Amino acid sequence: MRSLLFVPADSPRKLEKSLGCGADALIVDLEDSVALAAKPAAREAARAFITAARQAAARPRLILRVNSLDSGLLEADLDAVMASAPDAVMLPKSRHGADVQNLAAKLAVREAEFGLPDGSTQIIAIATETAGALFGLASYAGASRRLAGLTWGAEDLSAALGAETARLADGSHADPYRLARALTLLAARAADAEPIDTVFTDFRDNAGLAAECAAARRDGFSGKMAIHPAQAAVINAAFAPPPEAVERARKIVAAFAQNPGAGVLSIDGLMTDRPHLLRAERLLSRL
């Protein structure tokens, strides 16, 4: 998944419009974008939308962002929407791997209750929205086979820290958030999950979004979340590997396939070893 677009579950118009924006995944949001009084109706709207969207031959992945474990709202979210069989559930304000395990147990119960295949619902955790959560990032490795992705959030973290802003005057993230970003990338790879970069909130600044996407792809992130449909095309283009990189990756994979016992090969005059092979395989998996 390159682009993951947040869509408020209480807006049928935005939900319908989101299907045609080209995002690889839609995050149907029951958390921050939905007021408390609107959550019951939003749950019903999310269930109806996901149920209908699943029938399309070509569709984005459908991710349900529930409310946090400590909100008192999560059980109602799952009871109302899990029958629609979302592809994944996004867990906000996750503190450590035990929170993923907790959600995984709840998903297993609902899968059994609604006749869904066991383990069919993946989990994506937002892993840096509180100060303490940064100290739990190492615990995601091995937490659950459902864990498909880790992402991070600068806005909630800045509120938790009492910061004035998460970004510097030039638009880059300040040091605490750069740390959170780097640790999320490392934790995701350690857990064999996809690292997903956080949102770029200025949806009118496509150049700034493209630059941030390029930096994220360079560092190892596999995709980026979006808050506006117009951002999906920019993100998709930025995370699509350039043709020359694809050609090089295919050549590396083919060379090692022909020489399975080799640790190092010379390919086009360049010494190429197993880390290069792993990088090539990951690049090709994004096609």
Q: How many Å apart are CA 26 and CA 18, to the nearest integer?
A: 7
Report pLDDT for 281.
87
Handedness of CA 48, 71, 27, 78 (dihedral sign): negative
- Pull the structure tokens for residue 270: 């360049």
Looking at the DSSP bridge assignments, the partners of residue 273 are 264
Q: How many CA atoms lie within 13 A of 72 on its CB side?
A: 1
Report pLDDT for 282.
79
- Pull the structure tokens for residue 170: 């030039």
**What pLDDT, in 10s, does the model give residues 33-65?**
999 999 999 999 999 999 999 998 889 999 999
**What pLDDT, in 10s, does the model give residues 60-118?**
999 999 999 999 999 999 999 999 999 999 999 999 999 999 999 999 999 999 999 99
In this structure, are strands 88-91 and 264-267 parallel, antiparallel, or unpaired?
unpaired
- Pull the structure tokens for residue 47: 């269930």
Q: Does residue 4 contact residue 29 with C-beta atoms inside 8 Å?
A: no
Domains and CATH numbers, the chain: 3-240 (3.20.20.60), 244-285 (no CATH)
Tell me the pTM. 0.87
Q: Does residue 149 contact residue 193 with C-beta atoms inside 8 Å?
A: yes
- Pull the structure tokens for residue 4: 């993951």
Report pLDDT for 284.
81
The list of the chain residues with pLDDT below 70 reads 287
Name the residue type at position 222: S
Q: Does residue 50 contact residue 42 with C-beta atoms inside 8 Å?
A: no
First to last CA, the chain: 10
Looking at the DSSP bridge assignments, the partners of residue 226 are 5
Q: Does residue 79 contact residue 39 with C-beta atoms inside 8 Å?
A: no
Report pLDDT for 246.
84
